Structure 1
Amino acid sequence: MSTRVGPLDVEALRSRLDRATAAAAVAGVDALLISPGSDLRYLIGAGGASFERLTCLVVPVGGDPVLVVPKLEQPGYAAVPTEALGVEVATWVDGEDPYALVRKALKGTARTAVADMTPALHVLGLRGAVGGEQVLAGPILRELRMRKDAAEVAALRKAGEAIDRVHARVGEWLRAGRTEAEVGADIAAAIVAEGHEAAEFVIVGSGPNGASPHHSLSDRVIEVGDVVVVDIGGPVAEGYNSDSTRTYSIGEPRDADVRETYAVLQAAQQAAVDAARPGVTCEAVDAAAREVIDAAGFGEHFVHRTGHGIGLDVHEEPYIVAGNDLPLEAGMAFSVEPGIYLPGRWGARIEDIVIATGSGSERLNNRPHELVVLEA
């Protein structure tokens, strides 16, 4: 269980709780029911973990928040300044009914919003105890979470710099004769060594495996001439994540079309970054990348959205995808990561985290965007 509060002070956390309460009222719900996870960490500084025993932060519109937590797990929240935040702690022990504590904290409500990733075990338990209508809390909290404040931007910038240092070292491990899994293990260790709390994910997609966007690792032996997609990231101490992709070649690419195709991808990624600024819609940023790739005849080989928001979760709002007409605002952080994937042959992706600023955007990843050719 994470007990880290990070750099946020009590005033910042209190502001988040107040804004969440106000947002709930505007959304027409009587209370938020927040289970362990990134929403809980956003509101009180510690995310905890979900088990069969209920932990739930009750945030009523008309009263003070209450953290319902098993007594045996209460020490895991010792770093949370509950008293200063005005959060009452209600503990329970095995054999007692935790859902009754939630009902008591609500003092009678008709409509509650439950955290999106709450286990079904607890959703149904809460529904039976509380009654009334339940809706998702995600649409309420994402309005707060996708607009990063200065401390959050600083944490994301720190994460971006840390993952850039890892990409700068990939040539130490990525070479012919090694398996993807062997390379991935070295990269995972470096992610921690360069300033992350953990390696959240490591993708090393070599040769034909690079044509699968979410390929992870395998026992495939990397060969001379392979194009290799390396997509890596993880959280720093403050809980905010990095996520960056670069594409490598082991010596000169085996396939004659790699460099020309990669140039298309590089132009598409730059076009999307250039388009990303306040007032431009998420779908317009997606279109900026897609138009370049479509025009070059690779449209069918760009099989995913251009990007996703990032923060306490690797994937969160806003999503840079067709159909999302949300205008970008200063403080929104998201990936820009078009890819071209040629099944059975090779694939490539370029990914940076970008933050919309007052007048444009800032890349948080600054490693070269060209195809990185390593010694064979």
Structure 2
Amino acid sequence: MTHPPYADRLVRLRQRMSETATDMVVLGPSSHMMWLSGVNPHGDERPVMLMVSQNHAGFLMPRLNADAARQATDLPFHCWSDDEGPDAALAALLADCSATDAGLSVVLDETMRADFALRVLDAMDCPERRFTDDTVGLLRAMKDTAEYDALKAAHLLNDAAVVEAFSSLEEGMTEWDVQAILHEHYKVNGATPEFTIVGFGANGAFPHHHTGDTKLTRDMAVLIDTGCRLNGYPSDMTRCGWFGTPKAEYEQVFKVVEAAVQAAVAASKPGVRASEIDRAARDTITAAGYGPQFLHRTGHGLGIDIHEPPYITATSDVELRAGNVFSIEPGIYLKDRFGVRLEEIVILREDGAEILSEMPRTMQRS
């Protein structure tokens, strides 16, 4: 393959396929395809797939997209045009992958269009199919050095944007005004906005508040949850503060959420189940009397996608591995008053969790 990261990932995938007795992996236009090959084709109703077996890797590719996709990979294309349809090209690709026998073990991209997946299954002889959890998904969840470097750079840029946003707070400005400050910082520094939540006052009690026209007044809580995308990888962080003199109740809630973050970070080690990290955060908040006000999971994985496995939930038995990247973001939400959420993105090292952000979690004051 043209680029060394993708060649290495293909080797690792084939090794994992051998370990899991997988005969073939089939990916559609998705983050999985982008991670494995660097190809990010236009996704529409025309079937596009990357198929990998031990003896072959190649694309089913609409002819009108081939030249653009060729810039990212030197893997072979089985092209088809609108006037002939994809069936012959698909059959040729399956033959090259030695995928014509009955009962083969096939991994399908769970994010692929259903009609693409069914087209592959219908063209095969009684395949046994599953999704990517123990192959591509598992490998994607363990970030390599290049991915770490990209994620770290995105988070350092995000740090600077959030610092600027809090330092720019003025009475009378709207949530949209703060969002504009963040987005301009991203753009000036070569990044694009990924998402932004700015919640003033009681709006912070909605975990997924839509940034709006609420105006900032004295003695009001401020929550900023935001991220940018730099060199293909996103950042994600939440910081909270108070515009004016914070109420004692806010300070108390802030301390509880900070203790929950610390507990979850301390629990984050290779070999620990995701549910144990969630429990560390949730037990801290419950012990302080705010259990019902912690409304969501403790975290989500982050990589090419802003939300991807592993998910840090109370019901997840996934055993975490070195290289996993995920958020730790407990929160307490008091309706009609305020919300406090503090979020870090961590990468698991052999000795524990490394936090990607370098911005302190201390209460921001204006």
Alpha-carbon distance change, 279 to 139 in structure 1, aligned in 2, over 3 angstroms: closer
The one-letter amino acid paired with 1:187 is: L
Q: How far apart, CA to CA, are the structure 2 residues paired with 1:182 and 1:128?
A: 53
Aligned to 2:240: 247
| Alignment of structure 1 residues 148-297 onto 2, 5 Å | 148-196=143-191, 198-237=192-231, 239-253=232-246, 255-297=247-289
The one-letter amino acid paired with 1:53 is: R
**Are residues 1:335 and 2:327 paired?**
yes
Aligned to 1:4: none
- TM-fit CA distance, 1:9: 7.2
Aligned to 2:130: 135
Asked whether the equivalents of residues 300 and 310 of structure 2 are also in contact (C-alpha less than 8 Å), the reply is yes
The one-letter amino acid paired with 1:68 is: L
The one-letter amino acid paired with 2:234 is: N
Name the TM-score, length of structure 2 as normaliser: 0.90
The SS at the match of 1:235 is strand
Aligned to 1:303: 295
Q: Report Cα offsets for 1:252-305 as digits up to 9, x if no partner.
A: 23x541111111111111121122223333222222211211111001111111
Alpha-carbon distance change, 275 to 159 in structure 1, aligned in 2, over 3 angstroms: same
The one-letter amino acid paired with 2:90 is: V
Q: How far apart, CA to CA, are the structure 2 residues paired with 1:39 and 1:148?
A: 13
Identity value in percent: 34
Alpha-carbon distance change, 235 to 102 in structure 1, aligned in 2, over 3 angstroms: farther
Q: How far apart, CA to CA, are the structure 2 residues paired with 1:99 and 1:218?
A: 49
- Quick one: which of 339, 347, 351 aligns to 2:339? 347
Q: Report Cα offsets for 1:206-250 as digits up to 9, x if no partner.
A: 22221111223123223322212211113211x222111111222
Mean alpha-carbon deviation: is it higher for 46-55 or for 308-317? 46-55
Asked whether the equivalents of residues 64 and 88 of structure 1 are also in contact (C-alpha less than 8 Å), the reply is no
The SS at the match of 1:200 is strand
- TM-fit CA distance, 1:99: 4.1
Mean alpha-carbon deviation: is it higher for 181-190 or for 342-351? 181-190
Q: How far apart, CA to CA, are the structure 1 residues paired with 2:12 and 2:131?
A: 17
| Uncovered stretches (5+) of structure 1, i.e. residues with no partner | 1-7
- Quick one: which of 20, 24, 30 aligns to 2:23? 30
Aligned to 1:117: 111
Asked whether the equivalents of residues 132 and 138 of structure 2 are also in contact (C-alpha less than 8 Å), the reply is no
Q: How far apart, CA to CA, are the structure 2 residues paired with 1:335 and 1:270?
A: 13
**Are residues 1:74 and 2:69 paired?**
no
Aligned to 1:54: 47
Alpha-carbon distance change, 121 to 250 in structure 1, aligned in 2, over 3 angstroms: farther
- Quick one: which of 73, 78, 85 aligns to 1:97? 85
- TM-fit CA distance, 1:26: 3.6
Alpha-carbon distance change, 123 to 370 in structure 1, aligned in 2, over 3 angstroms: same
Q: How far apart, CA to CA, are the structure 2 residues paired with 1:247 and 1:305?
A: 19
Asked whether the equivalents of residues 80 and 86 of structure 2 are also in contact (C-alpha less than 8 Å), the reply is yes
Q: How far apart, CA to CA, are the structure 2 residues paired with 1:287 and 1:233?
A: 26
- TM-fit CA distance, 1:36: 1.4
Q: How far apart, CA to CA, are the structure 2 residues paired with 1:165 and 1:99?
A: 51
- TM-fit CA distance, 1:42: 0.9
The one-letter amino acid paired with 1:16 is: R
- Cα RMSD of the aligned pairs, angstroms, is 2.2
| Uncovered stretches (5+) of structure 2, i.e. residues with no partner | none
Q: How far apart, CA to CA, are the structure 2 residues paired with 1:248 and 1:167?
A: 12
Alpha-carbon distance change, 218 to 277 in structure 1, aligned in 2, over 3 angstroms: same
Q: How far apart, CA to CA, are the structure 2 residues paired with 1:337 and 1:88?
A: 43
Q: Report Cα offsets for 1:150-186 as digits up to 9, x if no partner.
A: 2221111111111111111113544332222232233
Asked whether the equivalents of residues 31 and 106 of structure 1 are also in contact (C-alpha less than 8 Å), the reply is no
Asked whether the equivalents of residues 244 and 353 of structure 1 are also in contact (C-alpha less than 8 Å), the reply is yes
- Quick one: which of 343, 348, 358 aligns to 1:366? 358
- Quick one: which of 277, 290, 310 aligns to 1:318? 310
- Quick one: which of 65, 69, 79 aligns to 2:57? 65
Q: Report Cα offsets for 1:6-63 as digits up to 9, x if no partner.
A: xx973331121122233234434431111112111111123233112221111124x2
Q: How far apart, CA to CA, are the structure 2 residues paired with 1:103 and 1:37?
A: 22
Mean alpha-carbon deviation: is it higher for 44-53 or for 128-137? 128-137
